[in-house]
Amino acid sequence: MKVYIVRHGETLYNALNQYSDEKIDLNENGILQAKELREEIKEINYDVIIASPLLRTRHTSQIINVHKKEIIIDERIKERDTGDLAGKAFSSTNREEYWNYNTTIQYGTSENIKDFFRRVYDFLNDLKRKNYNSVLIVAHSGVSKAFNGYFEGLKDGMFLHRGLKNCEIKEYEL
């Protein structure tokens, strides 16, 4: 099965380098990015779109759904919960450490990275049992980092620079 993961379009928090919350939607640039991506993926014959339940991913899914396929929402691929970091500048934490799979540091009430990866891995293991030829996943930078760990290995455990940019797409074979 081909699995295409897409990160949602840009949000205000992305533009300001801040930790997001669950309620934020795409900004004007994010909508434009999604429209450009829609043109790029016309040739991909996906069976279904599976999206995170967050507003920014649902909105991106609707824009890029060029083939008008079913959009399924799955809680397991929502972004890592930033907890009380939401709205704070990235500079308020050590971002390398925040995305270090082997860290012992807990930043406020944010979701533990290993718990987050397990949640995403559970989604991928379940997806293996589905009868799709090609799936388009619309999720988040953090989820794309977990995909990278699943398909390419944990390596040194450093994931800060292993995620997708806004409306970037990556293909994997599951």
Residue 105 belongs to domain spanning: 2-173
State if pTM tops 0.85. Answer: yes
- Written as six digits, the tokens of 122 are 């559970």
Q: What is the rounded CA–CA span in Å between residue 117 and residue 23?
A: 22
Give the pLDDT of residue 101: 98
Mean pLDDT calculated for residue range 137-146 = 98
Mean pLDDT calculated for residue range 98-126 = 97
Angle 28-40/55-64 helices, nearest 10 degrees?
Answer: 40
CB atoms inside a 10 Å sphere around CB 134: 14
CB atoms inside a 10 Å sphere around CB 18: 20
CATH number at residue 78: 3.40.50.1240
Given the residues 10, 59, 79, 140, select the one marked as catalytic.
79
**Total domains, the chain:** 1
Give the pLDDT of residue 15: 97
Give the pLDDT of residue 58: 98
pLDDT in tens, 11-41: 999 999 999 988 999 999 999 999 999 999 9
pLDDT bin (cut points 50, 70, 90) of residue 116 is very high
User: Mean pLDDT across the chain, nearest whole number?
Assistant: 97
Q: Is 40 among the residues known to form the active site? A: no
pLDDT in tens, 48-101: 999 999 999 999 999 999 999 999 999 999 999 999 999 999 999 999 999 999
Q: Is 22 among the residues known to form the active site? A: no
Given the residues 8, 10, 59, 140, select the one marked as catalytic.
8
CB atoms inside a 10 Å sphere around CB 85: 20
pLDDT bin (cut points 50, 70, 90) of residue 173 is very high
Start-to-end C-alpha separation, the chain: 5
Of the candidates 33, 31, 28, 24, the residue with the CA atom closest to the CA atom of residue 52: 24
Reduced to 3 DSSP states, what percent helix, strand and coil does the chain have, rounded to the nearest 5? 40, 15, 45
Angle 141-152/113-127 helices, nearest 10 degrees?
Answer: 70
Query: String of b and e for 136-163 (b: at least 16 CB within 10 Å)?
Result: bbbbbbbbbbbbbbbeeeeeeebbeebb
pLDDT bin (cut points 50, 70, 90) of residue 151 is very high
